[in-house]
Amino acid sequence: MAFEGLADRLQATLQKIKGKGKVTEADVKEMMREVRMALLEADVNFRVVKSFVNTVKERAIGQEVLDSLTPGQQVIKVVREELANLMGGESAKLEMSKKPPTVIMMVGLQGAGKTTTTGKLANHLRKKQNKTPLLAAGDVYRPAAIDQLETLGREINIPVFSKGTEANPVDIAKEAVAKAKEDHNDVVFIDTAGRLHIDEGLMDELKQIKEATQPDEILLVVDAMTGQDAVNVAESFNEQLGLTGVVLTKLDGDTRGGAALSIRSVTQTPIKYVGTGEKLDAIESFHPDRMASRILGMGDVLSLIEKAQTNVDEKKAKELEDKFRSMSFTFDDFLEQLGQVKQMGPLDELLGMLPGANKMKGMKNLEVDDKQLVFVEAIIQSMTKKERETPEILNASRKKRIAKGSGTSVQKVNQLLKQFSEMKKMMKQMTNMQKGGGKKKGGA
Ligand code: GDP
């Protein structure tokens, strides 16, 4: 996961100061020396580190922090706020034009993930904001790029405007905007050419497209894995074109986090989205405050709730709750619930959003293996309808049959049965507790 090394280091450093009833200037300075090292090792731009450390030091050594009742926690609060400020403070949204179509120009070097991100964003806007995007294939130098966009378009069912490799990219961009007006597409994404390096020819072409289409957004797509190079690329593109935002891709990879933490400060351009995987739904709005909490192990419950809201059908959730209450929750319900959890993304990513999850004993080395879920599903699918509803009837021969059918073992089947019955018990206790709590509240 991204930021892992940085998160570990910062959390270990802050842990030392957390519970202190008295914090001295020397404590803060010592802590900031370690924070500085951690940030530099995470490949954060050195100027950014210097200014960050100075700001935190100044605030943390302030009297109201050191003299407060919980100075250790106040210092951590300052670190969290400044980390969020470093990444832009508030989350930055896409500017939508009052006079549609909104024109979004996508720029970036080859391989950064520009074409994939164009598809992801268009899909995201359609799903989340009911937009009707049009994609324009402007990378005329690589036939494969046009094919890729067309394939993507078909996959997500979004139209692609393309004129092959012979046309001029500036004309393609202009005509795509006109076509969007005609067809009532309210957003046009212009996928532009990428090169391996920034060169004058590319920049000239991008400037002409900008001039001709007057885009509402110019989004630079950069690969987080490239660290400081990503920051340099952002700086050059911004100087030449004037960016309105950055999309940082491959945050799911083993990035140290340097790019995410430096881009905003160095370029004054906000990160608007992050790419978190190869799949088309692996894109998230970027929230500096939530990211700061995640890095400091405070979890990101808000993003977790949003993920749940997007993927879990509320009516079904209510039905499940009723089933828990009445103890009529069956293996079929369990299977359905598993499906919903799986849609939310890989389990270790979800765990990473829970406060303190990476500090929990054993959690760190616990490989959260999505494959285990496949076995669970296979076992349940090998049960008959009656068995799923009343697992009590499962005798030795039935268990043997299920183990064989699911390619597992009787031991695994037994394990699942035990877990299922414990889960039911626990759910009953929890719902009873909730009921009790509700009464109390009502009575007060
Ligand atoms: P382009 O040359 O900038 O248009 O790059 P592409 O869109 O073709 O992407 C290059 C590669 O990066 C492809 O294999 C993508 O699947 C992959 N990619 C793009 N975004 C992400 C991401 O957020 N995470 C991961 N893991 N891979 C990504």
Evaluate whether 114 touches 169 at the Cβ level (below 8 Å): no
Evaluate whether 118 touches 108 at the Cβ level (below 8 Å): no
**CA–CA separation, 241 and 229 (whole Å):** 18
345 Cβ contact list (under 8 Å, min separation 6): 276, 277, 282, 307
Edge to edge, the sheet with strand 217-223 lists 160-161, 133-137, 187-191, 102-107, 217-223, 245-249, 271-275, 283-285
pLDDT the model gives residue 362: 47
Give the SS3 label for residue 221: strand
* Strand bridging mode 187-191 / 271-275: unpaired
pLDDT the model gives residue 435: 56
Centroid of ligand 1 to alpha carbon of 278 (angstroms): 6
Q: Quick check: CB of 252 below 6 Å from ligand 1?
A: yes
Q: Quick check: CB of 120 below 6 Å from ligand 1?
A: no
Q: What is the dihedral of CA 23, 26, 28, 32, to 10 degrees?
A: -160
Name all domains of the chain by residue range, CATH numbers in brackets: 4-86 (1.20.120.140), 102-298 (3.40.50.300), 304-443 (1.10.260.30)
pLDDT along the chain (444 residues), means of 10: 81 85 88 92 92 93 81 86 93 92 96 96 94 96 91 96 93 97 97 87 95 97 93 95 96 86 94 94 92 79 66 68 72 79 68 60 51 82 91 93 93 89 74 52 36
Which residues sit opposite 136 in a β-bridge? 161, 190
Evaluate whether 374 touches 411 at the Cβ level (below 8 Å): no
Structure token pair of residue 210: 């900008």
Q: Quick check: CB of 249 below 6 Å from ligand 1?
A: yes
Centroid of ligand 1 to alpha carbon of 287 (angstroms): 22
Evaluate whether 171 touches 85 at the Cβ level (below 8 Å): no
**CA–CA separation, 395 and 251 (whole Å):** 48
pLDDT the model gives residue 54: 95
> Which residue CA neighbors atom 13 of ligand 1 most closely?
113
pLDDT the model gives residue 440: 39
Q: Quick check: CB of 72 below 6 Å from ligand 1?
A: no
pTM reported for the whole predicted model: 0.74
Centroid of ligand 1 to alpha carbon of 412 (angstroms): 38
Evaluate whether 236 touches 261 at the Cβ level (below 8 Å): no
Q: Return the closest-CA partner of residue 284 out of 229, 440, 62, 294.
A: 294
Q: Is residue 199 part of an annotated ligand binding site? A: no
> Which residue CA neighbors atom 16 of ligand 1 most closely?
278
Q: Quick check: CB of 113 below 6 Å from ligand 1?
A: yes
Q: Is residue 193 part of an annotated ligand binding site? A: yes
Distances (CA, A) of 345 to 156, 200, 274: 19, 41, 15
Count CB-CB contacts under 10 A for residue 435. Answer: 11
pLDDT the model gives residue 437: 47
Q: Is residue 257 part of an annotated ligand binding site? A: no
pLDDT the model gives residue 442: 37
**CA–CA separation, 338 and 329 (whole Å):** 13
pLDDT the model gives residue 121: 97
**CA–CA separation, 355 and 11 (whole Å):** 12
Q: Quick check: CB of 88 below 6 Å from ligand 1?
A: no
Structure token pair of residue 199: 């060169």
Distances (CA, A) of 319 to 134, 323, 412, 436: 39, 6, 29, 20
Centroid of ligand 1 to alpha carbon of 194 (angstroms): 13
Ligand 1: nearest atom to the Cα of 108: 3
Centroid of ligand 1 to alpha carbon of 253 (angstroms): 11
Q: Quick check: CB of 147 below 6 Å from ligand 1?
A: no
Ligand 1: nearest atom to the Cα of 148: 8
Q: Quick check: CB of 194 below 6 Å from ligand 1?
A: yes
